[in-house]
Amino acid sequence: MHIRYNVIIQKEGKWYIAKCLDNNVASQGVTIEEAMKNLKEALELYYENEEPIMPKETYITTVEVTV
């Protein structure tokens, strides 16, 4: 079964942190590609003995606020 999960990647220092928005699994890498590869592996291990969670329809946008 192939499932497409929602992922956000943020830079923290020298690392890229890849987080799955659907289940809070995260991983890191020195490059975006490495972070994504590591996250994919982490998700596959996470669901090895678990029932897959189907992703929710997700919208990401920005909002401007005055601070």
pLDDT, tens digit (0-9, with 9 covering 90-100), for 35-51: 999 999 999 999 998 88
Domain around 47: 1-67
Q: What is the pLDDT of residue 23?
A: 92
Would the pTM count as exceeding 0.75?
A: yes
Q: What is the pLDDT of residue 49?
A: 87
SS (HEC) of 5-34: CCEEEEEECCEEEEEECCCCCEEEECCHHH
The Cβ of residue 16 has, within 10 Å, a number of other Cβ atoms equal to 21
Q: What is the pLDDT of residue 50?
A: 84
Low-confidence ranges of the chain (pLDDT < 70): none
Count up the domains in the chain and report the number.
Answer: 1
Instruction: List the CATH number of the domain containing 56.
Output: 3.30.160.250
